C-alpha cells in the first residue's frame, strides 16, 4: 500500500502515475517528472491518494517546478512549435508525401541547441536525407525523423473514440496486441469496417482486451434457442455478456423481456421459426 498521483505533459494527454514521495502537489500544480533526458515539467491532474497496490516500482516525483523550470519548459515548447512550422514548410518544398504528427525537443544544459525529433506518417518509406540536412541548418540543432505506424500516430495525436471517451491508446494502453476479425464475431458485432475500426483505421483495440469476457459465450444460450424463464417459455433474441443477461421474447404473448443468465434454463431445441 502506498500513495500515487497522476500527471500529464499535455492537457488531456496520456496520464503517468508516480510516487509523490514527501510531496503533496494539488491538482494543477506543475511538478518535475524524471525522464531519460532529465527532469521535465508536467501538470498534476490527480492529487496524491492512498492506493491498495504496491507502489515500489513506480518512479518518484523529483520535486515542484520552480520559475527556472517553467522558463525552460516554455522555451522547449517554443522550440517545438518552431520546428513543426519549419518541418511542414520544408516537406512542402521538397514535395515529400509526409505528414508531421508530433515534435519533441530536448534542450542542452545551457538552454540552447539540443535535439529535435520529428514524428511523421507516410504511405510508404520516404528518402528524407536532404530534408534532414535542411532542417538541421534551419533549426540549428540535431534533427531526427521517425516514421510512425497508423496506431502509433493515433496514440501520439490522441482523440475521441466511437464510445465518446479518450482513445485507449492515448490514455492507458501501453502495448498494441494483435486484433482479429474473429474477436468482433465473438462479440456479435456487425462486420462493418466503419463500426469496428478505431481512429487509426485499424480494428479497435478494445476488441482485444474485452474478448476474454465474450469468450465465455458457451455459458449463454444462442439466439433462437428455446429457454425456460421465471415468466414462462421464451426464445432468445440476444445476449449481453457484460451484464450477464439474456434478451428473450415470450412464447405466450410475444412480449420482450430481459432475464438474468442465472434465471434462464436452456433447451437444446434449435429455432424452427414457429
| pLDDT on residue 221 | 82
User: Average model confidence (pLDDT) for the chain?
Assistant: 85
Rounded Cα–Cα distance for residues 170 and 148 (Å): 14
List Cβ<8 Å contacts ≥24 apart for 192-197.
195/162
Helix, strand, or coil here: 239? strand
pLDDT (tens digit per residue) in 70-121: 999 999 899 999 999 999 999 999 999 999 999 998 887 655 568 899 999 9
| pLDDT on residue 273 | 39
Query: From start to end of the chain, where are the E strands?
Result: 2-8, 16-18, 30-33, 40-51, 63-64, 99-106, 115-121, 142-147, 226-229, 232-240, 245-250, 256-260, 265-266
Q: Where are the domains of the chain?
A: 2-65, 69-148, 154-213, 220-266
Q: Which CATH architecture has domain 220-266?
A: Roll (2.30)
Least confident span in 12-16, 41-45, 87-91, 193-197: 12-16
Residue found by looking up cell 449463454 in the block:
220
Beta bridge partners of 239: 246
- 271 pLDDT more than 60: no
Look at residues 37, 52, 61, 23 and name the one whose alpha carbon lies nearest to residue 115: 37
Q: How many CB atoms lie within 10 A of CB 216?
A: 11
Rounded Cα–Cα distance for residues 46 and 15 (Å): 9
Residue 177, classified by CB atoms within 10 Å of its CB into exposed (0-12), middle (13-18) or buried (19+), is: exposed
Return the higher-pLDDT residue of 118 and 240.
118
Look at residues 76, 4, 61, 71 and name the one whose alpha carbon lies nearest to residue 31: 61
Look at residues 120, 37, 122, 113 and name the one whose alpha carbon lies nearest to residue 79: 113
Whether the full predicted model's pTM is greater than 0.95, yes or no, is no
Task: Pick one of 3.40.1800, 3.40.33, 3.30.300, 3.40.50 as the CATH number of 69-148.
Answer: 3.30.300
- 47 pLDDT more than 90: yes
Rounded Cα–Cα distance for residues 156 and 168 (Å): 12
Look at residues 270, 220, 267 and name the one whose alpha carbon lies nearest to residue 241: 220
CA 194 to chain centre: 19
Sign of CA dihedral 190, 195, 198, 202: positive
| pLDDT on residue 112 | 55
69-148 and 220-266 have identical folds:
no
pLDDT (tens digit per residue) in 159-210: 888 888 888 888 777 778 889 998 888 887 888 888 899 888 899 988 888 8
Amino acid at each position: 500500500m502506498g500513495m500515487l498521483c497522476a500527471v500529464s505533459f499535455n492537457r488531456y494527454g496520456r496520464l503517468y502515475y508516480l510516487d509523490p514521495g514527501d510531496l503533496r502537489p494539488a491538482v494543477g500544480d506543475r511538478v518535475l517528472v524524471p525522464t531519460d533526458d532529465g527532469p521535465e515539467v508536467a501538470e498534476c491532474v490527480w492529487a496524491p491518494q492512498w492506493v491498495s497496490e504496491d507502489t515500489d516500482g513506480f518512479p518518484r516525483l523529483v520535486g515542484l517546478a520552480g520559475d527556472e523550470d517553467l522558463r525552460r519548459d516554455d522555451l522547449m515548447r517554443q522550440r517545438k512549435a518552431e520546428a513543426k512550422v519549419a518541418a511542414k514548410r520544408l516537406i512542402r518544398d521538397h514535395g515529400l508525401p509526409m505528414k508531421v504528427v508530433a515534435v519533441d525537443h530536448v534542450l542542452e544544459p545551457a538552454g540552447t541547441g539540443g535535439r529535435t525529433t520529428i514524428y511523421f506518417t507516410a504511405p510508404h518509406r520516404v528518402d528524407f536525407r536532404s530534408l534532414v540536412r535542411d532542417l538541421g541548418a534551419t533549426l540549428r540543432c540535431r534533427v531526427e525523423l521517425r516514421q510512425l505506424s497508423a496506431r502509433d500516430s493515433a496514440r501520439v495525436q490522441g482523440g475521441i473514440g466511437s464510445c465518446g471517451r479518450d482513445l485507449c491508446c492515448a490514455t492507458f494502453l501501453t502495448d498494441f496486441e494483435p486484433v482479429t476479425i474473429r474477436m468482433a464475431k465473438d462479440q456479435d458485432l456487425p462486420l462493418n469496417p466503419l463500426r469496428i475500426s478505431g481512429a487509426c483505421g485499424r480494428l479497435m483495440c478494445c476488441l482485444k482486451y474485452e474478448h476474454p469476457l465474450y469468450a465465455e459465450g458457451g455459458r449463454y444460450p444462442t439466439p433462437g434457442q428455446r429457454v425456460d424463464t421465471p415468466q414462462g417459455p421464451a426464445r432468445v433474441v440476444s445476449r449481453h455478456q457484460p451484464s450477464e443477461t439474456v434478451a428473450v421474447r415470450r412464447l405466450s404473448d410475444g412480449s420482450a423481456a430481459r432475464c438474468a443468465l442465472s434465471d434462464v434454463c436452456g433447451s437444446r431445441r434449435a429455432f424452427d421459426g414457429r
